[in-house]
Chain A
Amino acid sequence: MKVAYWPGCVSRGFTPELHGSMAKVAPLLDIELVALDRACCTGAGVIAEHNQELADTLNARTFALAQQVKGADLMMNICSTCQGAQTECQERLDANADYREHVNGTLAEQGLQYEKGLTNKNFLWVLVEELGLDELRSRVKRPLTDLRVGPFYGCYIVRPVDRLGIDDELPRDTYLGQVIEALGGTVIEYAGSHKCCGFPIITMNKEVSLKQAGRHLGDAKDADADCLVTPCPLCHLNLDLQQPLAERLVGRELDMPVLHLPQLVGLALGLEPKELGLQRHVVKPTSVIDWSTSIVAGV
């Protein structure tokens, strides 16, 4: 499968191990990544809050670039927030022909044109809907036996359900659990799995922001999770990078490793923890990896 690949900004900035691990995992799943390296940031909802037309036009440009990729089956991203921010813009562009024409008017100066109806899926959706869980299962080399994994989705990829196309037929808000199971792990249910990491207000109200992160990490710990997995690098910033501060705010030790989705998949596909950049996390994933033998827990 060939995809027009939008890696996002944070996956190449503060969480480079995300983009890195995706690049390692893709060939093992026969996914050909054609990176959209001319595209710009999705705006993460913040540009839309500042100027809606600006966000819509910048993302329409990205969509147009994706539609130019010859032979691509779809566009793929690796960030819940990118998925949500892009889908929001696409909803407006696809809903109204006059508006689309207006935005395309701006793009025309650059020889670009967005055509209604792009398919844009997060890696998580691609795993379940395009590759298929049976196929994924058949490629597992090192099942995550006895590893207790808590899913952490990130708001933008589970709400609002109608915009994201989540329904009984496409229960996209259950996919992380399905993937964890397909990789041989145990899914941990806990209160925070579909809640907010708090990142959007980290610069506005740090205390409220990190209390959210701390609370969900604590709930996962109480449910005996070994680690969390997330398809969102912004959640990763609040849950991992800021975990020491979150610990202070909620007044308890957390010590909860948080993996990016491609890292978890990569481990099960037999890649080494170092190749996947697991040593780069602030909270060392010791519960996941036996560092002396590089073996996944419980195997």
Chain B
Amino acid sequence: MAEVHKEPQEFTLRIRRYDPESGEPAYWDEHTVELEPHRSVLEGILQARARFDGSIGIRCSCRAAICGSCGVRINGQPGLACHTHLDKAVASSRDGVIEVEPMGNMPVLKDLIVDMDQVHWKKVQRVTPWLVNKQPIPEREYIVPAYNMVDVTQSMACIQCGACVSDCLSMEVDPLFIGPAALAKAYRFVGDPRDAQQFERLKDLAEDPHGIYDCTHCFKCIEACPKGVAPMNQIMRLRRMAGDVHGINDRNNGHRHEIVFAHLIRDHGLLWEAELLPRSYGGDSFFGKFHPAAGAELVSSLPAITKALVRGKVTPMGALKPHKLPKQDLGQIHSIYDKVEGREEPYELNLYVTGYDEDESGAEGMPSAETGTPGMEPEESPSR
């Protein structure tokens, strides 16, 4: 057997310190601790606190990635301090020193402790985070189809650590955005067939200017989450259900934008930007752009558009005339649209539920842009 026990070694932590009551600005503090490399960054912080400075502020409880208390940024990336090994943290550091900071998008209470109440928990409360029973309540238990149950367990896996909130890029400029954790929680109930308020929940989240259509689709929350909740994917499901299942035509242009986009591709094969914008505001027809809302939008975009015209970036003819695919290909695109959109139920492959096929070649699990034909095998590529 390979050796299990590794000798303790030295790790240096650079910890962001801040005490709002002191009136002093934030500063960095370094401590060197001695621990086995597989121990966690949290253990490192706790040792520094025990041995060198009892005033270091850190929140923790379970120390086993269950309670969600110890969310921090390690070398700039959000995560759980108790779930990050010291040796891994050193490897991802800039200069061999492990940098630990409080999470972003929330005010710092002290050192590594942020105010979850003011931001995270308020937003979670905002989405009615409980089940509203369908009536009449059956005499015995509700039966939920297995597919739906597995589907919602992805958002149920959330431990409310706030790592996704910390790095959300829409929230960075719009503190009112409901945000990834709360919207993932919203999907947990929207996707539950026992809930009576699917439509009301979706309508509420679609109409709120800081709701589902305020997410900029940046994937940050997917990367941040230590529990695989993939909040952005849940937000996209909320959008799909709001717009395409319930036909909610929100005032944020979210659903119109999506429909116009899909229709333009159907009609032209390629995106025709000059029509996308005004139609998203005004409505999905050639006349959409003459709608008052579209007019207002055009006026507010005017400086950009005039400049683009002056620079010859966009020629008037180029902007007005769509580029199109050849007829035969457009025909093929149409028939794909007709067939797929004509299905009674939309067919959605949820990889969280189905998992991945066993790879016949025996290579490791996840498929990526890297694998396969045509052409060179990755190993043959130069400069690798």
Contacts and interface: CB of A to CB of B under 8 A. Distances in A.
Interface of A: 4, 9-10, 12-17, 37-38, 40-41, 43-54, 56-58, 61, 66-67, 69, 72-75, 83, 87, 90-92, 94-97, 99, 102, 106-107, 109-110, 115-121, 125, 128-135, 155-156, 159-165, 169-170, 195-196, 198, 200-201, 203-209, 211-212, 215, 241-242, 244-245, 279-282
Interface in B213-234: 213-220, 222-223
Contacts of A128: 383
Interface in B155-187: 169-170, 172-174, 177
A14 B218 contact: no
B169 A196 contact: yes
Given A17-B313, A40-B329, A211-B173, 5 more contacts: A12-B270, A96-B354, A198-B216, A241-B308, A279-B311
Given A119-B370, A282-B313, A92 B351 contact: yes
Residue of A46, A109, A200 ringed by the most chain B CB atoms within 10 A: A46
Q: Which 7 A-B pairs have the closest CB atoms?
A: A117-B372, A132-B383, A165-B368, A159-B219, A73-B375, A9-B271, A165-B370
B346 A51 contact: yes
B218 A40 contact: no
Interface of B: 169-170, 172-174, 177, 209, 213-220, 222-223, 236, 239-240, 243-244, 252-254, 257-259, 261-262, 265, 269-274, 276-277, 280-281, 300-301, 303-304, 307-308, 311-314, 318-319, 323, 325-326, 329, 332-333, 335-337, 339-341, 343, 346-349, 351, 354-357, 366-376, 381-384
A109 B335 contact: yes
A205 B213 contact: yes
Contacts of B384: 129, 169
Contact of A204 (B252, B261, B349, B383): B252
25 contacts: A9-B273, A10-B271, A14-B314, A15-B313, A41-B269, A44-B271, A45-B217, A46-B258, A49-B240, A52-B240, A72-B374, A106-B339, A119-B369, A120-B369, A130-B382, A133-B383, A160-B219, A160-B222, A160-B223, A162-B368, A203-B276, A208-B214, A241-B308, A244-B303, A280-B311
A115 B370 CA distance: 15
A66 B374 CA distance: 9
B340 A51 contact: yes
Given A46-B262, A53-B348, A163-B366, A205 B382 contact: no
Contact of A282 (B262, B304, B351): B304
B191 to A, nearest CB: 15
Contacts of A61: 332, 336
Contacts of A52: 240, 346-349
B262 A50 contact: yes
Contacts, number: 281
A53 B383 contact: no
Contact of A50 (B244, B253, B313, B325): B244
B228 to A, nearest CB: 11
Contact of B374 (A45, A51, A92, A118): A118
Contact of B371 (A41, A119, A161, A208): A119
Contacts of B341: 51, 54
Contact of A40 (B258, B303, B325, B368): B325
Nearest to B313: A280
A53 B265 CA distance: 15
Nearest to B366: A162
A74 B376 contact: yes
B323 A110 contact: no
B172 to A, nearest CB: 7
A135 B354 CA distance: 43
Contacts of A97: 357
A40 B236 contact: no
Contacts of A90: 367, 369
A126 to B, nearest CB: 10
Nearest to A121: B369
Contacts of B367: 90-91, 94-95, 117
B183 to A, nearest CB: 14
B117 to A, nearest CB: 24
Contact of B349 (A73, A96, A106, A201): A96
